Amino acid sequence: GYEAHGAIEGEGALPVVRRSAPEVILLDVQMPRLADLFRELRAAWNIPIIIATENAEVARELRPLGAFAYIHKPFDWEDLRRRVAMVIYSALRSGEPRAV
Distance CA 22, CA 35 (A): 19
Domains and CATH numbers, the chain: 10-94 (3.40.50.2300)
Is the pLDDT score of 2 beyond 80?
yes
From the CA atom positions of the chain, what is the Rg in Å?
13
Name the DSSP letter for residue 50.
Answer: E
Q: Look at the alpha carbons of 94, 97, 99, 100 in this order and tell me if their dihedral is positive or negative.
A: positive
pTM above 0.75, yes or no: yes
- Express each pLDDT in 32-57 by its tens digit: 788 788 888 888 888 999 999 998 88
Stretch (H or E) spanning 26: strand 25-28
